[in-house]
Structure 1
C-alpha cells in the first residue's frame, strides 16, 4: 500500500478556522463516518452550528467527540423514512432556530448485476441515496428559503457514468446529479442555491472493502492523475466551499472532486 499513499506534502493538511460560517446552522446527513464526519467537523471548525445526522447514536457520539457541545446537535435518524426526514428539519429548527445549509450526504451501495440484485436491495439504495435526499430537502426547504441558504448534495463520479456491477448505485447517483441541476432551476425565485460534489474513490466505511483489495486499489490509482485516493477532508473542503459565500454565484454545479479522473476520455495510458 505504501506506493499509493499520498505524500504528506500533498495530502490534506490540518486547517485553521476561517470563520466563514460563524453563526450559521448546517445539517449534515450521514455524519458519523467518512465524508459526512469530515464535513460536519469542518463546518464546526469554521464557526457553524451543526446538526449531525446518522442512524447510529453510538457512531454519532464518536464522530462528535471533542466538538463543542453547544454547537452540535446529534440526531439519530434514517433519511429513507419520511417521518425521520421531517424530524431532522424540525429538531434542527427547534434547537438552533434556522437552517442555512443542508448537506445531503447519507448514502449506501450494493454490488451486483441485474440478475443478482433483488428488489429489496434496489429499494434500499434508491430510498437512501435519492428518495431520502428529496425528503430531507423538502422538509428543510421552507427554512432554507427564509435563510436564502443553500444545499450541497454528495453525488459521485458514478452519477456521471456507469460502473461495472453497480447499476443500482449508478441509478441513484445519476438521479442526484440531475436532481441537483433541476432543483437549481426551480429554486430561481427562492434565492436558494443547489450544488453537488462528485467524488471518485474516497476513504470511507462504504469503500472499506475496496481499500483492503490492493490489486483493485492499484487499478484505481492507475486511472487517477494525482496518484492517490481521495480523503474525506478533500471532499469536505469542496462541500464547505460550495456552501460558502465564496461560491455565491455558483449554482446547479456538479463539482468533480476526483483527483483528475474526469480529465480522461477513458483511453488507457500510451506510455
Structure 2
C-alpha cells in the first residue's frame, strides 16, 4: 500500500495582512510547515497556525526562511555558514516554544524559498542547516528536495530525512524545479496538479519540462498555501490520492 505525506507551507500572514486560506487547507493535509517570522508570519500568526494544526491533528514543522519579509524569502541573500546555522536555530527555537504553549512539539524542519534552493547549490550551507536541526532536536525530520544535497547531509549526520516532491511545480531533467520566473514553472490547473501528485505517489515519477520522465523518491508532496484557491488544490490532491489507493499519513506515523 502506498503511503505519503501531504504538506503545506502555512502561517504566512503578517499582522492584519492575510495570505492564503490556512483554515480551509488544514483538513486536507497531514503536515504544516509554519513560517517563523523571518520570511513571513509573526508571533500571533505562529500561535494561531499551530493551534489550528493541533486541532486538525496535523504535524507541525518549522518553515525556516531568509530574513526578508519584503521579498517573502524568495530573494537570494549573501549568507555565511554561521549565519545560516544561527537563523535556523533561532527560527526552530521560536516555533518550538510556541508549539509547547499549545501542548505540541515540532516534528520537522523545511527551508523556504530562496534558502531551499541555496542549500542545494552550496554544500556548506546544507551542512549548516542539517547541523542546526541536529543540535536543536536530533529527533526532528529534515525535509528537502528529493535526492538533493540537504537530505544527503542530514542523513550523514544521522537525521531522519524526508524527500519532498512538488505537485504544482514543473521539473527540469536534472531534478531541479523550473525557476518561478520562467513561463509555466507553476502548474495552475488543479486537476493537472492532482494528476502529477498521483503519479509521484504511485510511480515515483514525474514528466520533466522537456518531456523526459524523472524517477524521484516521494516521501512528502508539497502543495503551496500562498496560491489562489489553495484549498481547492489541496482538496483535489487529497481526494485523487485517496481514490488511487494512497494512504495519507505523516512520516513515521
User: Whose relative contact order is higher, 1 or 2, with alpha carbons under 8 Å and at least 6 apart?
Assistant: 2
- Provide the TM-score with structure 1 as the length reference: 0.36
User: If each structure's helix is expressed as a fraction of its own residues, which one has the higher value?
Assistant: 1
- Provide the TM-score with structure 2 as the length reference: 0.38
Q: Which has the larger Rg?
A: 1
User: If each structure's strand is expressed as a fraction of its own residues, which one has the higher value?
Assistant: 2
